[in-house]
Structure 1
Amino acid sequence: MSQPRDAVRHFPAIPAQAPSLRSLFGGQPVETFESGSAVFWEGDDARHVFEVVEGVLRVFRIMSDGRRVITGFIYPGDLLGVSLKDHYLYTAEAVTRTKIRRYERGRFQDEINRSPELRPQLFARLCDEMAAAQDQMILLARKSAEERVASFLLVIARRLGAVQAQAVIEIPMTRLDMADYLGLTIETVSRTMTRLTTCGVIAPSSRHAIVIRKLGKLVMLAGEADDDDNRATGMGSVQQAVWPN
């Protein structure tokens, strides 16, 4: 039986989309920074919060003796400048051609304070940053040079969602960047990468990319495989084979 022409049809209401940190930046214009350009410098007034849209940044501090210490690499979707300090605690510099969006810090804090949905999202981001900082402390304090390089490659693979054998991962950082992040010399980083390549754990794919040939060995060399894993995969003596005395 057909409905009268003037009958009112009722459709279910479409629920409003919950606010997110990404949507907060969505209306902001995109800015481009070429490789080597600084988004902000350590000590600058912290006037903005930034979201990385494209590219990779390095964040670093300059020590009193002039040494550069890289504390992290920032990828698309990450936030920069979220701090309770009035000044930026580090310098953020583009590794590759990078696109970012910025949000005025006062407005950002106001949005967070009045939104019950945004506060836990920001808190989760801050917790992730704290966990990454703790991992970095362990990396520098307890791991050997080989373990540091292997761990670094795994971290990059995880960021790119490419933790699998034969995965190609982009490494836009220079050997000097890696050295300043891992607390090693550039010669040690280069020598370790060469040994990983010679032993077939990784292979070059292009100027700024490698192929993970043997994921299990890379995990073990990073110190992330326990004894049960080593026995199950037959990799208990791999380190001796890969790293001869």
Structure 2
Amino acid sequence: MPWPPFDSPCLVPAPAEAGPLGPCMHCQVRHLAICSVLSPAEVHALDAVAGAQVLTPGAVLAHQGEPRRYVYTVTRGALRLVRLSADGRRQVAGFALPGDFVGLSGAAVHQHDIEALGETELCRFSMEAMRHLGTQFPHLQGKLLERACTELDSARDQMMALARMNPTERIADFLLKLAAQQARGGDPAASVALPMPRGDIADHLGLTVETVSRCLTALRTRGLIALPETYRVDILDFAGLEALNAA
């Protein structure tokens, strides 16, 4: 089934090799996304209203305060969610990785700027189409509600982490959560990709860039992690990192 036409110049057509089953059935992150728990009929219904979108590095998908017209699943790359306070301070609220659902909210407008960290591919659905599918398939609506509740719990955990953890504990907690996020229900990934620069980690955790670098070095010195590349961390001792947060 072909993609519906869209007017954005950064949209791309469905891959030719998708065949009669449709792009959704061939999606490489389908097992990570909300689609993994849907029936074939529900997947085909999503397929019929899906569009593909590619963002170049640094491109803005949506601005804070803009009306919400679409929701998205990240299929490749990563996004950051940024909010500017009234006094102009920048807060990175979170990151969206492959399999993450973006734009799900009860608000009529986007609560964050949504920016591409690198070249990023998305599967996009209009709000109107998702409302229709939610009525047609209550199971899909239930999974969307479950995803929204998970994101709310994650935001609360983040607030608690910032309130009670010291900088090293915040970094350890961030790495553990990122490993779990990239594993998607499996064993946490020992090699964790960091698609975001150190400055984004700092703005996410309420730290300075220098503190982030110093804490990563301290964790490496203690033998808990290795830093083989700028944008990758190898977790050598999961229990050691978890013990920091349990102290």
Report the TM-score when normalising by structure 2.
Answer: 0.78
Counterpart-to-counterpart distance in 1, 2:144 and 2:89? 32
Structure 1 residue runs of 5 or longer lacking an equivalent are 1-15, 226-245
- 2:3 alignment counterpart: none
Read off the aligned partner of 1:173 and give its amino acid letter: M
Deviation at 1:187, TM superposition (A): 1.3
Which of 130, 138, 143 is the equivalent residue of 1:116?
A: 138
Quick check: 1:106 aligned with 2:136?
Answer: no
Deviation at 1:163, TM superposition (A): 2.5
Secondary structure at the aligned position of 2:156 is classed as helix
- 2:8 alignment counterpart: none
Report if the CA contact (8 A) 2:57-2:119 is conserved.
Answer: yes
Read off the aligned partner of 1:45 and give its amino acid letter: P
Report the TM-score when normalising by structure 1.
Answer: 0.78
Read off the aligned partner of 1:75 and give its amino acid letter: L
Report if the CA contact (8 A) 2:105-2:148 is conserved.
Answer: no
Quick check: 1:171 aligned with 2:194?
Answer: yes
Counterpart-to-counterpart distance in 2, 1:41 and 1:100? 17
Report if the CA contact (8 A) 2:49-2:125 is conserved.
Answer: no
**Cα deviation 1:22-72 (Å, max 9, x = unaligned):** 962575232111221111110111111111111111101001121111111
- 1:207 alignment counterpart: 230
Report if the CA contact (8 A) 1:45-1:86 is conserved.
Answer: yes
Structural RMSD (CA): 1.9
Quick check: 1:125 aligned with 2:128?
Answer: no
Secondary structure at the aligned position of 1:151 is classed as helix
Quick check: 1:65 aligned with 2:87?
Answer: yes
Q: 1:182 to 1:163 in 2, by over 3 A?
A: same
Secondary structure at the aligned position of 1:73 is classed as strand
What pairs with 1:36-185 in structure 2 (closer than 5 Å)? 36-161=58-183, 163=188, 167-185=190-208
Secondary structure at the aligned position of 1:35 is classed as coil
Counterpart-to-counterpart distance in 2, 1:75 and 1:26? 24
Q: 1:106 to 1:27 in 2, by over 3 A?
A: closer
- 1:228 alignment counterpart: none
Read off the aligned partner of 1:189 and give its amino acid letter: V
Q: 1:177 to 1:25 in 2, by over 3 A?
A: farther
Counterpart-to-counterpart distance in 2, 1:25 and 1:137? 36
Counterpart-to-counterpart distance in 2, 1:109 and 1:224? 42
Report if the CA contact (8 A) 2:71-2:103 is conserved.
Answer: yes
Read off the aligned partner of 2:240 and give its amino acid letter: K
Read off the aligned partner of 1:101 and give its amino acid letter: C
- 1:220 alignment counterpart: 243
Secondary structure at the aligned position of 2:106 is classed as coil
Out of 138-147 and 28-37, give the one that drifted further.
28-37
Structure 2 residue runs of 5 or longer lacking an equivalent are 1-38
What is the percent sequence identity of the aligned residues? 35
Counterpart-to-counterpart distance in 2, 1:188 and 1:50? 33
Structure (1 or 2) with the greater helix fraction: 2
Segments of 4+ in structure 1 off by > 6 A? none
User: What number of residue pairs does the alignment pair up?
Assistant: 206
Deviation at 1:140, TM superposition (A): 1.1
Report if the CA contact (8 A) 2:68-2:109 is conserved.
Answer: yes
Counterpart-to-counterpart distance in 2, 1:199 and 1:173? 24
**Cα deviation 1:115-140 (Å, max 9, x = unaligned):** 22212111111111111111111111
